[in-house]
Amino acid sequence: MPFAELNGNQIYYEVTGDGPETIVFSHGAFLDHTLWQPVVDLLSGEYRCITWDARGHGMSECNGPFDYYDLAADAVGLLDLVGAPNAVFVGMSQGGWISQRAALASPDRVRGLGLVGTSLPLLSEQETAGFTQLSQGWLGMGPVGPIADAIYGIQFSDVPFDGSRYRAAWQGKPPSAWSEVWTTILTKRDDITDRAKDITCPVIVVHGTVDAAFTVDSARAMAEAFPNNRGVTIVEGAPHAVALTHPHEVADALRSLGKSL
């Protein structure tokens, strides 16, 4: 299994396909690289696809505090490992926050952005309070019962999809192993709303109509913040984890981005 020593952590990653263009896929919080497998299965005949586990997720280490610029640096570091000068960066939820910061910190390495089920502004005070309460339960009692149900519901809403493997992964680690992940979500994300205009690469947005984390209206507003907005794909009936439940729609949107570069 491929691991890379990146910025003081062993990071798990996979490379699938050998197309002329590279896509780096970053997953959402509490998920892992397998989020993207259905999409990669559809695109690996056309693109070189890199998936990875962010620090503290899946099989990757977390050896201390981190922010989303640190994760962006990890993602860019994967390009160096495979010898790719640049790539399209695709991110779901937290992965979108990572990809946005990669575009700000390393614009020469980011050819385009695919923002899937994600957001631009900071969480509201009410959202932060709700997630803080969830984090306290998760870290105190573990991701079990209604605590696990709440996070599972955010990811999958009421869509008929079996995401039980993610629930098992949450419970497969000591609750304290997730502390840095929660700290980063709640306190380490800076407000880059005013800097969106500095992200000049092509950007597409993909969003589900039953996303329980962010609204369709917020997705449309996010797209408008980028000067090179190439459009919003709204996926009917899709939850936050739209890449798992509706991979064809996500893959088609990414193909359209690739053709426009």
> For 78-87, how does the pLDDT look when each residue is reduced to its tens digit (9 = 90+)?
999 999 999 9
Give the position of tokens 């390393």: 106
Task: Report the share of the chain in percent with pLDDT over 90.
Answer: 98
DSSP-derived 3-state class of residue 42: helix
Report pLDDT for 261: 87
Q: How far is CA 85 from CA 8, 104, 230, in A?
A: 22, 16, 23
What pLDDT, in 10s, does the model give residues 21-57? 999 999 999 999 999 999 999 999 999 999 999 999 9
Q: Which two tokens stand for residue 155?
A: 């990811």
Which domains are seen in the chain, by residue range? 3-122+190-260 (3.40.50.1820)
- Measured in whole angstroms, how far is the alpha carbon of residue 244 from the centre of its chain? 13
Q: Which two tokens stand for residue 28?
A: 């959402």
pTM > 0.95: yes or no:
yes
CB 112 within 8 A of CB 261: yes
Indicate the helix (H) or strand (E) that contains 88. strand 87-92
**In whole angstroms, what is the distance from residue 161 CA to residue 28 CA?**
17
Sheet of 21-26: strands edge to edge? 3-6, 9-16, 47-52, 21-26, 87-92, 110-116, 203-208, 229-235
What is the DSSP-derived secondary structure letter of residue 29? T
**90 pLDDT above the threshold of 80:** yes
- Measured in whole angstroms, how far is the alpha carbon of residue 258 from the centre of its chain? 19
